Amino acid sequence: MTTADDLTGLLLRRRQSVYVPAGPGRSAETDAALVVLEAELADRGHLLTAPLRRALAALTVADLAATGRELLAGVDALMGSDRGHVPLFARFRDVPYQHAHDRYTSVVLAHLTAQPHQPCMNCAGTKARVRALMPCAHLLCDDCHRKEQDWGCCEDCCVWYACQVCEKRYETDGPLDPWLDTGAGLGGDGGPVLRALRLGAPGDAAAELAALLARRTPLNPQDHDDLVLLLGHADPAEAADWLPEAIALRESKALALAPLLDRPETRALVGRYADTATDVLRILAVRSGGDPDLLEPPRLRGLPRPVRRELLALLDGFDFRRLTEDMARHPRAWKRVGEILHPFEAAHRHARVALAFAVLRGTRVGDGALGEVLLNEAARHDGVRLVGDRLRFVTWQSRVEAALGRWDVTAAADLLRERPGELLRRLDLLLARSGAATLPEPVGEALAHALPRTAPGPLLGAYGQLRIRSVPGHRRVFFPRGRVTKAFAVPDHRPPLPPLIAGRAGELIEAEAVRRLAAREGERYDLAVLDASLADLPVPFAERASAASLVAVPRGSSLPMPADSENVRLFLHWLQPKGVRVDLDLSVALYDDQWRFIGLCDYTHLAYAGGAARHSGDLTSAPAPHGATEYLDLDLPRLANCGVRFVVPAVLSYNDVPFDELPDAFAGFMAVEDKGRAVYDPRTVRQRFDLAGDAKLRVPMIVDLRTRHAWWADVTLATNGVDHDVWRYREQLRRLGNDLLDTFRPRGRATLWDLACWTAAARTDGEVYVRGRGHVLWGYRRAPDEPRADFALRVRDGWEPDALRAEPDLAGRRVLLALLHGELAAADDAASGTVYRLYPGPVDAAPLERITAGDLAAWLGPAA
């Protein structure tokens, strides 16, 4: 059962939007209370944009108090500061009470001093300088100051200035006077950025639902839970209005269709969208309270007779070969389905379904009416044969394996041509078995047929595999499908693919990606700004078991450690269930540049190398209501000077209680300047992720102190016994870290940089600018006769630019922004378009459509 509060928190997290009810109008009491709310939000690293502030100012004091409490609670939950974070050992400083107005001003000035790229609260972003007004400290850009200034002389010849955010007027001597002095230290880089909160619109929830249903890459657990919540608020009776034309993800399809199965007026929609037998199985699993991933199928609920008839008719319309193979993938679950569908009762009407169940069950074929129906139907399908008194079926998969086993590339290519996704998944194996130095003709023909019909996942997966298969000597790391992410590695003894054949196949895939994006219906752009740092972010994979996190970092990403601080504070917070003691431990294992273990910092060793790593103390229980918190401070330069190269943080459940049994558990890290203050400051939180799943040891990342980068791992390790600590698992952590970096460093997957370059080249009619190649932007313009795939190659590989610019002119243009940090602001609210960013910034307040990495990949969907 979902509530309005759940939906409010979802929109705050996903869109930074806040819904505000209509109010009677502004009053002096509300203005005073609003200043207090602004100060509280600033303490949490958030500010109000002008439309949201005006809506709040129109509320009564009582309504503002209620709305403000709800907003602060939502922000605290988002940042992880909704609980008391008191470590075992801590040094606290008494902070004298300040008036709310002074507190807000000091917080804003501190942010501006550390990081000048903040959003203008009036226009939601600008390329002009943003400064704080005196004395209200509202952030305003120079453009809005000049455009909206309210100069005039009263009878006393005083000059006045009006703030465009709070509309208060202040006496001043001239246009340069209203600004607060932020000191001479502006120009710092990498400091905390205030997150802009926007006024919510009635259609925000519907827009998020549509975006999630349109996703073509697997949903992570957070997106999955959000989709379930949004579907709970959607009216099933109006499903025909809010369901899209197609739902690419099978699991999302099941979540959306399961509530419609028992409603006669919407049951027809199930047949319209479900096009495989596995779709039907997923729908039945969700209807019975299970998960559509089918990892643990639930006990299925019975079906009314009308529903059984319609499902049998739906299954009977599928291709028999696909129907039988789908059932063979989940035999136990389908046998349970047979118990509630009773397929043999209507065998004469649905003979194809009856035959599929007979093959699945190994039913004996007798001389009765059922046996006659089954034998007659079997005679209509190739591959079905009678072995003794039982029917057997030769699957397509077994024929492919047989062809590959005898190295018959032509036969294998002909078979794989029928299923484009499988062809792309096995493309590297097919090319290796060919033994050719150039692309073999049978494989080339099959590939040309398959490419326009392949979903984004296999397309991008094959592109990445072709990259890494031409580089020998790496270990293969596998991430098995499951509720938690585990990894295991094996030596890669496969010979590398010849660069010529791998390069040619990769060019075909790249050309197909650009062609799809160019042909896609939708907006085109006048200008694009891309961040070259996106090359460090792979396209998300194995997302089904990813941890729900504040920043959705794809596994395998390489991200710079905070540049504004030499000190990183890891944190861990958990709350134990009633009557159960839970002891979690925050630890780090330290290795040199040859991955030799040289030390640790945990509850057994509270300090390493005189404080280069320091633990806050071991808490062994976390009773309600506040739970327990542990910190671990890392002085990165001192650790590097001590011979440490790799730092592997780990969270362990000492007494072997799985994370999914805890009502609340999360971890993350902050960038801190003062190591002495053991406090949880939400403004400095760079990453926060939930601890979930049936696991007792999680490794979030691997830090390389030489490059000052962190590789996002988000994996779990298998454990045994009890009394877990990092010393006991130091060897497993060494192997895991070495194997993961050996896999991640060669960038053996398509990246968000690839996607951004393809999209910009395909859908931008003007300039494409690249950041991160020096102090200026590198500009590219496509020649009239230049193929778009060649243009994408020029941008991606850093060819000589056509022009250099200090800043792009975005005013009044449709723009595509693909950024690592959201500090690039739109010129004014006349700019429109689309933005992807990993980390928040002023661009969040701009009137641009924000998309995720999954949305970028979804644009590669094949034409219907």
Reduce the DSSP state of residue 418 to 3 states and report it.
coil
pLDDT for residue 8: 87
In angstroms, what CA-CA distances link 288 with 231, 241, 259, 298, 300? 16, 25, 10, 7, 5
Residue 123's pLDDT is 65
The whole-number pLDDT of residue 88 equals 58
Question: What is the Cα–Cα distance from 391 to 356, expressed in whole angstroms?
Answer: 10
What does residue 574 show for φ and ψ, rounded to 5 degrees? -150, 160
Other beta carbons within 10 Å of 557: 23
How far is residue 198's CA from residue 213's CA, in Å, rounded to a whole number? Answer: 24
Tell me which H or E stretch contains 313: helix 305-316
Q: Three-state DSSP class for 387?
A: strand
- Cβ-Cβ contacts under 8 Å for 683 (sequence gap 6 or more): 43, 44, 45, 111, 192
CA 567 – CA 631 distance, rounded (Å): 12
Is residue 703 within 8 Å of 646, Cβ to Cβ? Answer: yes
Residues in the chain: 864
DSSP 8-state assignment for residue 538: B
Residue 21 confidence (pLDDT): 86
Please state, in angstroms and rounded to a whole number, the distance separating the CA atoms of residues 336 and 332: 7
Distance CA 315, CA 661 (A): 39
Residues 81 and 44: beta-carbon distance below 8 Å: yes
What's the token pair of residue 514?
């650009």
Which amino acid does the sequence have at 302? G
For residues 399 and 413, the answer to whether their CB atoms sit within 8 Å is no
pLDDT at 388: 84
Residue 713 backbone dihedrals phi, psi, to 5 degrees: -105, -55
Burial of 836 from C-beta contacts in 10 A (0-12 / 13-18 / 19+): buried
As beta bridge partners, residue 179 has: 133
- Between CA 157 and CA 62 the distance in angstroms is 40
DSSP, residue by residue, 568-631: EEEEEEEEPPTT----EEEEEEEE-TT--EEEEESSS-SEETTTTEEE--------TTT-EEEE
Sequence-separated (6 or more) residues with CB below 8 Å from residue 56: 20, 30, 34, 37, 48, 64, 67, 68
Across the chain, which has 864 residues, the per-10-residue mean pLDDT values are 71 86 81 83 82 88 88 84 65 37 56 54 59 67 58 43 60 50 36 72 88 84 89 90 90 94 91 93 95 90 92 94 92 94 90 93 85 90 86 89 92 93 92 86 92 91 83 74 78 82 92 92 88 92 76 88 79 93 96 95 92 90 89 92 96 94 92 68 86 91 93 91 92 92 80 96 94 90 94 94 89 90 62 88 80 88 78
pLDDT score at 161: 53
Give me the amino acid identity at 230. Answer: L
Total-model pTM: 0.79
CA distances from 863 to 248, 750, 761, 787, 857 (A): 12, 21, 19, 21, 14
How far is it, in rounded angstroms, from Cα 427 to Cα 54?
Answer: 57
Measured CA to CA, the distance from residue 197 to residue 47 in angstroms comes to 6
- What is the rounded distance in angstroms from the CA atom of residue 782 to the CA atom of residue 765? 8
CA distance 413 to 580: 57
User: Collapsing DSSP states into helix, strand and coil, what is residue 681?
Assistant: coil
Distance of CA 317 to the CA centre of its chain: 37
Quick one: which H or E segment has residue 739? helix 730-744
Closest residue by Cα to residue 326 from 295, 357, 303, 301: 357
Q: Checking phi first, is residue 156 left (phi over 0); if not, alpha (psi -120 to 50) or beta?
A: alpha
Cβ contacts of 818 within 8 Å, gap of 6 or more: 528, 529, 530, 531, 534, 752, 755, 756, 759, 760, 835, 836, 837, 856
Number of neighbours of residue 78 by Cβ within 10 angstroms: 20
Scan for tokens 């558990």, then name that residue: 665
Residue 151 pLDDT:
40
Pairing of strands 814-821, 525-531: parallel
Cα-atom radius of gyration of the chain, to the nearest Å? 30
Alpha helices, H only, 184-303: 204-213, 221-233, 239-242, 250-257, 267-273, 277-287
Could you give the angle at the alpha carbon of 190 between the alpha carbons of 189 and 192, nearest 5°?
120
SS (H, E, C) 316-366: HCCCHHHHHHHHHHCHHHHHHHHHHHCHHHHCCCCHHHHHHHHHHHCCECC
For residue 197, what is the enclosing H or E element? Answer: strand 195-199
CA–CA separation, 128 vs 122, rounded Å? 13
Could you tell me which residues come within 8 angstroms of residue 272 by beta carbon, excluding any fewer than 6 positions away? none
For residue 295, the model assigns a pLDDT of: 86
